[in-house]
Amino acid sequence: MQEVTGSIPVSPTIKYLYFNRLKELHHKTWNDNKERKNLKKIQISIDQKKILHIPSDTQIAEVLKTGDPGVFQKTVAAVVNNQLVDLQNVLNEDARVSAVTTDSAEGMDIFWHSTSHLMAEAIKSLYPRAKFGVGPAVSNGFYYDFELDEPITPEDLGKIESRMGEMARQDQPFSRSILSKKDALLLFESRNEPYKIELIRDIPGDSVSVYQCGSFIDLCRGPHVPSTGCIRHFKLLSVAGAYWRGDERNPVMQRIYGVSFPTQEALDEHLRLLAEAQERDHRKLGKMLDLFSFQAEGPGFPFWHPNGMVIVNAVSDFMRETLHRHGYQEIKTPLILNESLWHRSGHWDHYKENMYFTEIDESPYAVKPMNCPGGLLVFNNRPHSYRDLPLRLSEMGLVHRHEKSGVLHGLFRVRQFTQDDAHVYCTPDQLENEILLIIDLVDEIYRAFGFDQYQMELSTRPAKSIGSDGMWENAENALKKALERKSAPYQLNEGEGAFYGPKIDYHIQDSLGRTWQCGTIQVDFSMPERFGLEYTGADGRKHRPVMIHRAILGSMERFIGILIEHVGGAFPCWLAPVQCAVIPISEKHHDFARQVVRILRDADIRCECDDRKEKVGYKIRDSETRKIPYMCIVGDKEAAGRTLSVRKRKQGDLGGMSIEAFMGLIREEIKGRKNH
């Protein structure tokens, strides 16, 4: 086992404690035939199919090598009896083993996290005074936070990449050791790593795991790829600042983001998609298309411009029409409500750090972060019978949440947004069917916006929650049964539910393959209890209704941001701020062009006349840049015959047609809400 080397000394005591434990991982190998004959045999099930009887003390990697060579080449870790472990671990008892490959999200997280360690080792070798925070895998890559007196610039990333390449070619093993917290503190004190020491002190229990990669030692749960030789294709993307542990009261650290893939082809494709994503950035397109802005006077509060309001209203109108067909009634509740309501709802105890407060008539009030409590008051305003249920109440409710300035990000993370909320009140017997109806509704709405692919997650009771065990069990079972009846594949997230109930979350996939969490279905037995909701049953007695919280778009602002990037600003005709540009060839055609505009506007078609003193080619290119779906060019021929020369975005020239024929064409497209 190679010892740690580097510019920071390690005491002999630490070396003894650390490396003796690392050596315990290196057991007898397959070549040790003489000694292995005396070891007991154990039974190993691989992927619940193949059964092996092998000597104990066998490395997991050796077991998985007996399977498909193609699968083993992609294997980065293993699951043994439901526990994620390194391939270097040994098996000493009967076990169920399965490979974790880079074809899975779990496998790529391990691959990216291992690359973050490789990057940290390269940074440490280039900048010995660097002190490290955390370096997790994140969506589509990894980052590492570190403290360093000198700033790292984008120009420095190439130098760090080169050092990473050298270390990858050295094929350094990732080696794991379990240390007592006392020993771990001694180790990281000797290496002058104050942030690691802080993390160790916050970890429950008496021991921690550490990993060595070359000269770099890190506090880490693991697992990791077997060695740095597995990591050959990577790219460091950017440098940013980040508060230690996300707290603005803490020091600002430097953060380097990067990405890696098992093959150069996969890396190249990812970088291509990143470049395309930058071109589709909703902040860039929002400015170019004059949709919205953010002002210094209201950080985190979007200002919608006329073009943007067209989209907001078109989405809102579509949602209202669809919900009306599905039996929803719309309500509107106040923006500010008395503090006592938020104590009653539980938000005061669980959410107050994210709320804004004010005072009215010397009494404390809060700006609503959620619409639910106001909706409950509407339900309780009059008595209900079982004949009234299910009662489906929707609200396009404006809410405010205090987000730290460091996490604000365009329309994706704001402090004011509109939720397409709805609350369904039903009897326990109606619950499962109502969930099924919502699942169908969500599918219908996502497809209308061109999101044909999405993933579903079922999140169960978190550690911090309200309500009885029985309530939670009933709620979780109702969601599971509905998903099973729909034969809907879903991922189970244990302990990730809302504090008041379990939920189904929807992750939609955009045109670049990225996923976004949007919709949610949450079953709530607790809030009706807290607010004393009742209905009179067929037996004449009072009963407690079940409440379902439901949002589909999630946040109107965030959903529109996602939609902008999904379509690259080229909205389908029914959503486009300007659906048609009428372009006169010369000044003598202005009158006819304006007549056409009036006719189209009378038919509820959003159009404008481009009568600027510019060449026709320039006007056509400008309309294409503005991503207007249709252009109608008019000249002598068109004015004489009252026709239009029609061009369609992405398709080009459609030829000449009468005004009436064009109106029929575009109105059919708008009415059908086509997405092409």
Nearest to 673 by CA among 604, 570, 576, 567: 576
Same domain, residue pair 320 and 433: yes
pLDDT over 50 at 258, yes or no: yes
Same domain, residue pair 437 and 328: yes
3-state secondary structure of 141: strand
Catalytic one among 213, 220, 230, 372?
Answer: 372
- Per-residue confidence (pLDDT) for residue 39, from 0 to 100: 63
User: What region does 513 belong to: left with phi over 0, alpha with psi -120 to 50, or beta?
Assistant: left
Respond yes or no: is residue 350 known to be catalytic.
Answer: no
- Per-residue confidence (pLDDT) for residue 568, from 0 to 100: 95
Respond yes or no: is residue 518 known to be catalytic.
Answer: no
Domains in the chain, number: 4
Respond yes or no: is residue 419 known to be catalytic.
Answer: yes
- Looking at 538, 567, 596, the residue that finishes a domain is 567
- Per-residue confidence (pLDDT) for residue 557, from 0 to 100: 97
Report the alpha-carbon distance of residue 587 to residue 574 in Å, rounded: 30
Report the alpha-carbon distance of residue 138 to residue 195 in Å, rounded: 20
Catalytic one among 419, 430, 522, 579?
Answer: 419
pLDDT band at 153 (very low <50, low <70, confident <90, very high): very high
Catalytic one among 183, 421, 505, 610?
Answer: 421
Same domain, residue pair 65 and 175: no
Respond yes or no: is residue 49 known to be catalytic.
Answer: no
The CATH number of the domain holding residue 637 is 3.40.50.800
Same domain, residue pair 178 and 153: yes
Tell me, yes or no, whether 599 lies in a domain: yes
- Per-residue confidence (pLDDT) for residue 409, from 0 to 100: 92
- 449 with 500: CB under 8 angstroms? no
Q: Which residues pair with 612 in a beta bridge?
A: none
pLDDT band at 26 (very low <50, low <70, confident <90, very high): very low
Same domain, residue pair 423 and 493: yes
pLDDT over 90 at 643, yes or no: yes
3-state secondary structure of 400: strand
Nearest 5°: CA angle at 66, between 60 and 67?
100
Tell me, yes or no, whether 299 lies in a domain: no
Residue 584's contacts (CB-CB under 8 Å, 6 or more residues apart) are 590, 592, 593, 609, 610, 611, 634, 635
pLDDT over 50 at 8, yes or no: no
Catalytic one among 113, 255, 423, 566?
Answer: 423
- Per-residue confidence (pLDDT) for residue 203, from 0 to 100: 94
Residue written as tokens 């001694």?
186
Same domain, residue pair 95 and 117: no
- 572 with 450: CB under 8 angstroms? yes
Residue 328, CA distances (Å) to 236, 331, 482 in order:
49, 10, 20
pLDDT in tens, 332-391: 999 999 999 999 988 888 788 899 999 999 999 999 999 999 999 999 999 999 999 999
- Looking at 519, 538, 567, the residue that finishes a domain is 567
Tell me, yes or no, whether 360 lies in a domain: no
The CATH number of the domain holding residue 448 is 3.30.930.10
Please give the single-letter amino acid code of residue 435: I
Respond yes or no: is residue 40 known to be catalytic.
Answer: no
Report the alpha-carbon distance of residue 412 to residue 560 in Å, rounded: 9
Q: What is the Rg, in whole angstroms, of the alpha carbon atoms belonging to the chain? A: 30
The CATH number of the domain holding residue 65 is 3.10.20.30
Catalytic one among 124, 503, 550, 626?
Answer: 503
Q: How far from chain centre, in Å, is Cα 73? A: 29
Tell me, yes or no, whether 26 lies in a domain: no
Same domain, residue pair 49 and 192: no
- pLDDT-above-70 percentage for the chain: 94
Mean pLDDT check: name the lowest of 40-49, 229-238, 658-667. Answer: 40-49
Tell me, yes or no, whether 303 lies in a domain: no
Mean pLDDT computed over every residue of the chain: 90
Residue-wise DSSP of 215-281: TEEEE------SBGGG--EEEEEEEEEEEGGG-TTSPEEEEEEEEEESSHHHHHHHHHHHHHHHHT-
- Per-residue confidence (pLDDT) for residue 347, from 0 to 100: 85
Same domain, residue pair 455 and 528: yes
The pair phi, psi for residue 48, each rounded to 5°, is 60, 20
pLDDT over 90 at 633, yes or no: yes
Same domain, residue pair 525 and 394: yes
Same domain, residue pair 559 and 611: no
Catalytic one among 549, 566, 606, 647?
Answer: 549
Report the alpha-carbon distance of residue 465 to residue 586 in Å, rounded: 69
Mean pLDDT check: name the lowest of 126-130, 267-271, 344-348, 546-550. Answer: 344-348
Tell me, yes or no, whether 305 lies in a domain: no
- Per-residue confidence (pLDDT) for residue 10, from 0 to 100: 35
Q: Which residues pair with 400 in a beta bridge?
A: 416
- Looking at 567, 598, 631, the residue that finishes a domain is 567
Helices 306-325 and 431-448, packing angle to 10 deg: 140
Domain span at 551: 311-333+386-567
Same domain, residue pair 88 and 137: no
- 495 with 460: CB under 8 angstroms? yes
Tokens of 113: 């996290």
Same domain, residue pair 465 and 497: yes
Tell me, yes or no, whether 14 lies in a domain: no
Report the alpha-carbon distance of residue 449 to residue 442 in Å, rounded: 11
Tell me, yes or no, whether 20 lies in a domain: no
